[in-house]
């Protein structure tokens, strides 16, 4: 059992030095070298990687691959080397795709390593020096300034207006002010204001501190360790294919054994001929083209999603999106813009909120508004159109610009003559411009320094109680609130004489800031909800802010509570699994919490998509059924851990991904619905021939021809099938839903039976008429192919009619594939080389008419079945039934 980690934030700086046996003046080079040998370099440990050959061989460990390899062996035993090569090529291509896409954990850990600082300023042997960050050791005294990437986990000993952006680690949308005050031992990570953490960024001020942990022991190192241990789940599609392959293998073995035994028992069939019949049945029953169709359909889905700004890193992830029942979304940068905006204005006459219809909070025709805008611009160090500087100050400039204030002209009219910068001690900033003193700061501090307030009717005595109510109301909405005030001083002083001058102010108003939702997110949320998909917000931000955003987006009702990280810690796994379905907002969460929440949802049978953009999201992204990372503002660690990356950082793109994913699965199941009747009919034809003691109507090599050619041409057309109109109105599929639903089994059985009767009947008829087995078999093959051509158009719609112009003409690939197949069948029938290989014979025109007529019969029968099931509203006839 490992010892509990030291709560460095709970210790005073001197106690930290004492525990680390370090001096206030830093370490000596000799001591630092000794510690480097003891603790190791300040970098993340690299996990042992599997050899490339083992990774490649592991791709073949799959039941369906075993079935395909068995088919290749059977084809080789029949000396059909072309077919053997095709099947083996499909297997190898699938293995290569898996091999290339594997290894996400190693890539994610390498990406986290890139977040570490490259250098650090450290005090060694009584002198400040620059060293490589991987040479830092616990006990080192380091110096930090704005723009530095934090090189290790550090307990601050000195801080001057120091702020850090730790969104990638904690998920907070705002930079966090730092100080040196010791905190309670159970203070949550995001609230540890006396600590700065490896991989985060100093955005303002400067400070010093003592390194307390390095490398794999840092908070960033813990995330890397979690990634290494997180299990990657197989996708719903692969689960269904594996189950289908196992069932199919058992059925093939049973039927092949039955054919051999029945042939010997009923008709005294020699063992050699019985084995050939058994091999023929096995070849007939295996849908050799299905893996290729699945791979191609997924690849087409990847291309279509790339056009919709979603990059898929792993093929099956396309289909997984269509299975999603819950989206666990990070708040900052995913549902919101990850940038502060003024969202509310508190004035004498109440609180006004920014709305979509009226973006500008400040009005040109109100003097009190213009006076507040003047302070927002002058008491401000940010520059217009710049991404640098304090986010609050940039948001104030945007507020003024939205109110059509000319920032440059205003500053030119009011030169700054003196400044008191913001400090965490006095909690305000004061800027002097001749006779005008402008002030902004924490509401409670500025309010104490005001005597009057301004409104539409001019200045009046301050109503402190009313302002306190406004402050509380705005804070309860999750807003970060600043107060703005001014004062006219006559005569104009040369400088501001400390706190004495910053008094008797006039309060102009309050500005509430928040990280607003992305414009497109509300519609995307509604689309997900209408598709039966629930959204849960999991954020490192505080509960008040999280609930406010969730309520604005329609994720929760106003009275619903959020579950905090501390609440999660008090629940065991079973209790968490009980509560997780009824809670929609989780606040102050750590990487461990996010991982536990994803596992709890999966324990409840949910297919979970996890979105995020920070390194703190990476373990949960990897564990989720599908991880979705932000491509622009997301960290490299999150992108490498995810299956899908949004190139536009747009949450709404996920909706398009879900739609495409459902369409991909729809088309794969249509391909199954299309291919299996051919396999079923061929198997039944062989079984019927053996039972009747007759010659085989179709030979094994002809079976392979039909299986591969039909798959490559007709079934491939289904991969390009457009989305059906109701696809986003369906409920998510159940995890337990098999690849072969009741509807698919019903359709496959009766179509196989009809095809068998037609093929066997016409074969026997022509054999009796011509006494030419080659000609009869050629007709049997073309009857099967004609039936498949007609059935293709039935399968392009689950239950909608297939004879409408929109259904017949919406997929040009279907007609192209039919044309190619007709050309191939003509070659199969008439070319001398094909006749020699496949034992075929030239057919007369009336034989073709028989094949075409049988295909039309199949088309009409299936359309009648659709009509009856629509009229009876049979549930099992739905795609999910």
Instruction: Kindly state the DSSP code that residue 785 receives in the 8-state scheme.
Output: H
The Cα 354–Cα 341 span in angstroms is 10
Residues linked to residue 128 through DSSP beta bridges, in sequence order: 123
Catalytic position from the list 330, 486, 625, 649: 330
Q: What is the signed CA dihedral for 441, 446, 447, 451, rounded to 10 degrees?
A: -140
Helix, strand, coil percent values for the chain (each to nearest 5) = 55, 15, 30
Q: In the annotation, is 83 catalytic?
A: no
The encoded tokens of residue 227 equal 């990634």
Are the C-beta atoms of residues 247 and 645 closer than 8 Å to each other?
no
Q: Where are the alpha helices (DSSP H) in 268-380?
A: 271-285, 290-306, 317-323, 367-378
Alpha carbon distance, N-terminus to C-terminus of the chain: 51
Place of tokens 């519609």: 523
Residues 6+ apart with CB under 8 A from 431: 378, 379, 380, 416, 418, 419, 420, 437, 438, 439
How many degrees, rounded to 5, is the angle at CA 383 between CA 380 and CA 389?
Answer: 75
Contact 791, 715 (CB under 8 A): no
Give 668-696 as a DSSP string.
Answer: HHHHHHHHHHHHHHHHHHHHHHHHHT---
- Using CA atoms, how far apart are residues 536 and 504, in angstroms rounded to an integer? 48
In sequence order, the β-bridge partners of residue 485 are: 439, 507
Q: Which of 172, 214, 222 is nearest to 193 (CA)?
A: 172
- Assign residue 595 a region: left if phi > 0, alpha if psi is -120 to 50, beta otherwise? alpha
Cβ atoms of 479 and 341 closer than 8 Å? no
Q: Tokens at residue 716, please? A: 């491939």
The helix or strand, by DSSP H or E, that contains position 511, with its residue range, turns out to be: strand 505-514
Q: Please give the Cα distance from 86 to 481 (Å, whole number).
A: 68
Residue 724: both structure tokens together? 């059906």
> In 49-165, which ranges are continuous DSSP H helix?
52-58, 63-77, 81-101, 104-114
CB atoms within 10 A of CB 600: 22
The catalytic residues are 330
């Amino acid at each position: 059992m490992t010892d509990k980690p030291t709560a460095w934030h709970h210790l005073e700086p001197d106690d930290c030095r004492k525990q680390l046996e370090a001096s206030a003046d830093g370490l000596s080079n000799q001591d630092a070298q000794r510690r480097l040998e003891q603790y190791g370099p300040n970098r993340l440990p690299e996990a042992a990687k599997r050899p490339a050959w083992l990774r490649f061989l592991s791709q073949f460990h799959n039941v369906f691959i075993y079935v395909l390899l068995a088919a290749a062996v059977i084809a080789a035993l029949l000396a059909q080397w072309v077919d053997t090569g095709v099947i083996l090529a499909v297997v190898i291509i699938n293995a290569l795709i898996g091999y290339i896409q594997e290894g996400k954990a190693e890539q994610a850990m390498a990406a986290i390593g890139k977040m570490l600082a490259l250098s650090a300023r450290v005090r060694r042997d009584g002198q400040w020096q620059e060293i490589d960050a991987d040479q830092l050791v616990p006990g080192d005294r380091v110096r930090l300034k704005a723009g530095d990437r934090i090189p290790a986990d550090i307990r601050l000993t000195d801080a001057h207006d120091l702020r850090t952006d730790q969104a990638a680690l904690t998920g907070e949308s705002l930079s966090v002010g730092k100080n040196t005050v010791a905190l309670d031992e159970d203070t949550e990570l995001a609230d540890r204001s006396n600590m700065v953490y490896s991989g985060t960024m100093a955005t303002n001020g400067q400070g010093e501190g003592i390194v307390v942990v390095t490398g794999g022991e840092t908070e960033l190192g813990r995330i890397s360790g979690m990634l290494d241990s997180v299990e990657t789940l197989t996708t719903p599609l692969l689960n269904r294919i594996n189950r289908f392959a196992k069932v199919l293998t058992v059925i093939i073995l049973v039927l092949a054994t039955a054919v051999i035994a029945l042939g010997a028992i009923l008709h005294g069939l020699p063992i050699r001929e019985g084995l050939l019949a058994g091999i023929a049945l096995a070849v007939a029953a295996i849908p050799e083209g299905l893996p290729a169709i699945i791979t191609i359909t997924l690849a087409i889905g990847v291309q279509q999603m790339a056009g919709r700004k979603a990059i898929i890193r792993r093929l099956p992830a396309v289909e997984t999106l269509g299975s999603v029942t819950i989206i666990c979304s990070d708040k900052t940068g995913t549902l919101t813009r990850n940038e502060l905006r003024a969202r509310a204005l508190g004035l004498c006459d109440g609180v006004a909120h920014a709305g979509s219809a009226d973006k500008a909070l400040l009005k040109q025709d109100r003097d009190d508004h213009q006076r507040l805008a003047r302070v927002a611009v002058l008491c401000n160090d940010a520059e217009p159109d710049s991404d640098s500087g304090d986010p609050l100050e940039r948001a104030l400039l945007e507020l003024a610009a939205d109110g059509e204030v000319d920032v440059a002209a205003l500053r030119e009219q009011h030169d700054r003559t003196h400044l008191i910068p913001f400090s965490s001690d006095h909690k305000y900033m004061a800027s002097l411009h001749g006779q005008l003193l402008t002030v902004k700061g924490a509401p409670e501090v500025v309010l104490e320094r005001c005597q009057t307030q301004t409104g539409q009717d001019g200045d009046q005595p301050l109503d402190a109680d009313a302002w306190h109510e406004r402050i509380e109301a705005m804070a309860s909405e999750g807003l970060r609130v600043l107060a703005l005030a001014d004062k006219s001083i006559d005569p104009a002083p040369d400088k501001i004489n400390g706190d004495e001058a910053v008094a008797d102010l006039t309060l102009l108003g309050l500005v509430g800031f928040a990280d607003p939702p992305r414009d497109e997110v509300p519609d995307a949320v509604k689309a997900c909800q209408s598709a039966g998909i629930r959204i849960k917000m999991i954020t490192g931000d505080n509960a008040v802010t999280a609930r406010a955003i969730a309520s604005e987006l329609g994720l929760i009702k106003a009275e619903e509570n959020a579950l905090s990280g501390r609440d999660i810690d008090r629940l065991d796994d079973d209790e968490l699994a009980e509560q997780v379905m009824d809670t929609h907002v989780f606040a102050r969460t750590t990487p461990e919490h996010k991982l536990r929440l994803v596992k709890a949802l999966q324990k409840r049978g949910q297919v979970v998509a996890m979105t995020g953009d920070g390194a703190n999201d990476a373990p949960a992204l990897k564990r989720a059924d599908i991880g979705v990372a932000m491509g622009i503002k997301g960290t490299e660690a999150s992108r490498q851990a995810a299956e899908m990356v949004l190139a536009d950082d747009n949450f709404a793109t996920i909706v398009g991904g879900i739609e495409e994913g459902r369409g991909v699965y729809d088309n794969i199941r249509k391909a199954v619905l299309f291919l299996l009747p051919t396999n079923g009919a061929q198997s039944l034809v062989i079984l019927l021939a053996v039972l009747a003691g007759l010659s085989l109507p179709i030979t094994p090599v002809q079976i392979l021809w039909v299986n591969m050619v039909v798959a490559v041409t007709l079934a491939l057309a289904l991969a390009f099938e457009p989305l059906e109109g109701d696809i986003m109105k369906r409920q998510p599929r159940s995890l337990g839903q098999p690849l072969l639903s009741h509807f698919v089994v019903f359709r496959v059985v009766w179509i196989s039976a009809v095809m068998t009767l037609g093929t066997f009947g016409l074969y026997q008829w022509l054999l009796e008429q011509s006494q030419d087995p080659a000609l009869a078999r050629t007709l049997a093959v073309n009857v099967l192919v004609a039936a498949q051509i007609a059935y293709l158009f039935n399968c392009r719609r689950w239950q909608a009619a297939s004879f409408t112009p929109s259904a017949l003409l919406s997929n040009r690939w279907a007609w192209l594939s039919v044309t190619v197949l007709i050309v191939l069948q003509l070659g199969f029938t008439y070319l001398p080389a094909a006749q020699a290989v496949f034992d075929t014979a030239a057919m007369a025109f009336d034989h073709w008419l028989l094949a075409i007529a049988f295909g039309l019969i199949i088309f009409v029968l299936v359309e009648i079945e659709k009509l009856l099931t629509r009229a009876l509203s049979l549930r099992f006839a739905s795609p999910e039934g």
